[in-house]
């Protein structure tokens, strides 16, 4: 039967399939539009089955916030190749799906949701057939807070959300800056207080062993040895630890012949250096304890405090990098 260009174009717009695929589907469906969509979906199912074991590590990470900035979602639409990930239609699909995802609290609810007359899950199968690559939802994170900020890194490889305790003046700037920090620096927890003690203990042992190994080679080469810390997190630095560090600092000043009357001016700097040397884990993995990327002289917590009575309550991050 004769299939018109208008019918082919309508199916193409509805599914994103190529012109020839749409024409073949309409011919097979004898011109029935809904049956043609089903033909394409079945093709997608066959392709999806063949590519089920493929790695879909490329794609687009998208963050979306609702109109009153009290809820946000970050998802990744995954594919197999960077070529597809950069395609404008693929990115637009990711954005459409992210806007829909904003209405749901779990990935399972989202996948079962209606998307233009089909479910999101079926749409992904359909697109697998259209594109010829494994297409799936990788990350799905939802965040609710009195104010939610978002950030999408250039290239759509990383996207993040940050929750604030209230909407202060210029909350949009603060939210975006902290979301950017979370995206760029890859924190895994909000603060050192959230770290698991067993993880801190294992990291302490591993990091000290690595530095000591490096020092063996540095010593052999006659180079300056690295400082070997006693600790790696503020979670380990108790009042007793600080008191001991202060006593040791005083002993050093005395041995150096520094007058006791000037110790009070020197001790704060030494204690600050002790804390800095012994909190490397926090600076790497705890968002509020990291150096602020826009001003390394400040911690992220210091930057947040500059906005007044506001706290970062949570953050979410999805990465394809």
Q: What is the pLDDT of residue 116?
A: 85
Q: What is the pLDDT of residue 22?
A: 77
Q: Mind giving me the DSSP string for 260-295?
A: GGGHHHHHHHHHHHHHHHT-HHHHHHBGGGSEETTE
Listed residue (28, 43, 36, 49) closest to 129, CA to CA: 43
Summarised one tens digit per residue, pLDDT across range 27-67 is 888 888 888 877 877 776 666 566 766 778 899 999 999 99
Q: What is the pLDDT of residue 50?
A: 65
Per-residue b or e along 210-243, where b marks 16 or more CB atoms closer than 10 Å to that residue's CB: ebeeebeeeeeeeeeeeeebebbbbbbbeeeeee
Q: What does each C-alpha distance from 34 to 16, 137, 145, 158, 194 come to in angstroms? A: 15, 25, 42, 37, 52
Q: Does domain 58-123+132-186 have CATH number 3.40.50.2020?
A: no
Q: How far apart are CA 295 and CA 25, in angstroms?
A: 57
Q: What is the pLDDT of residue 11?
A: 74
Q: What is the pLDDT of residue 35?
A: 86
Q: How far apart are CA 167 and CA 125, in angstroms?
A: 40
Q: Which DSSP symbol is given to 18?
A: -
Q: What is the pLDDT of residue 1?
A: 66
Q: How far apart are CA 27 and CA 6, in angstroms?
A: 14
Side-by-side strand order, sheet with 58-65: 58-65, 71-79, 136-144
Listed residue (76, 59, 61, 75) closest to 133, CA to CA: 59
Q: What is the pLDDT of residue 220?
A: 92
Q: Measured in Å, how far apart are the chain's first and last C-alpha atoms?
A: 48
Give the chain's residues under pLDDT 50.
none
Which regions of the chain carry the CATH code 3.30.479.20? 58-123+132-186
Q: What is the pLDDT of residue 166?
A: 94
> CATH top-level class for 5-50?
mainly alpha
Which regions of the chain carry the CATH code 1.10.8.10? 5-50
């Amino acid at each position: 039967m004769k299939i018109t260009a208008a019918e082919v174009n309508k199916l193409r717009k509805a599914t994103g399939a190529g012109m020839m695929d749409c024409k073949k589907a309409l011919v097979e469906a004898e011109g029935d539009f809904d049956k043609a969509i089903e033909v394409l979906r079945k093709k997608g199912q066959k392709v999806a089955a063949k590519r089920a074991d493929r790695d879909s590590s490329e794609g687009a990470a998208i963050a979306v916030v609702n109109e009153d900035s009290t809820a946000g979602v970050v998802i990744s639409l995954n594919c197999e190749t960077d070529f597809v990930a950069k395609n404008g239609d693929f990115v637009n699909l990711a954005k459409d799906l992210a806007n829909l995802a904003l209405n749901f609290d779990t990935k399972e609810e989202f996948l079962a949701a209606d998307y233009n007359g089909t479910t999101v899950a079926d749409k992904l199968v359909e697109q697998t057939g259209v594109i010829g690559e494994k297409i799936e939802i990788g990350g799905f994170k939802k965040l609710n807070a009195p104010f939610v900020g978002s950030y999408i890194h250039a290239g759509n490889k990383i996207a993040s959300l940050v929750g604030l305790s209230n909407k202060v003046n210029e909350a949009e700037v603060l939210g975006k800056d902290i979301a950017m920090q979370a995206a760029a620096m890859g924190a895994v927890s909000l603060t050192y207080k959230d770290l698991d003690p067993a993880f801190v203990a294992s990291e302490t042992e591993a990091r000290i062993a690595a530095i000591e190994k490096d020092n063996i080679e540095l010593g052999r080469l006659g180079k300056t040895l690295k400082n070997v810390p006693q600790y790696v997190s503020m979670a380990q630095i108790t009042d007793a630890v600080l008191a001991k560090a202060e006593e040791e600092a005083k002993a050093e000043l005395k041995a150096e012949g520094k007058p006791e009357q000037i110790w009070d001016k020197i001790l704060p700097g030494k204690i600050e250096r002790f804390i800095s040397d012994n909190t490397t884990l926090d600076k790497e993995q705890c968002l509020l304890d990291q150096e602020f990327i826009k001003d390394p002289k400040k911690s992220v917590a210091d930057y947040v405090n500059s906005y007044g009575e506001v706290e970062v309550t949570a953050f979410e991050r999805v990465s394809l990098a």
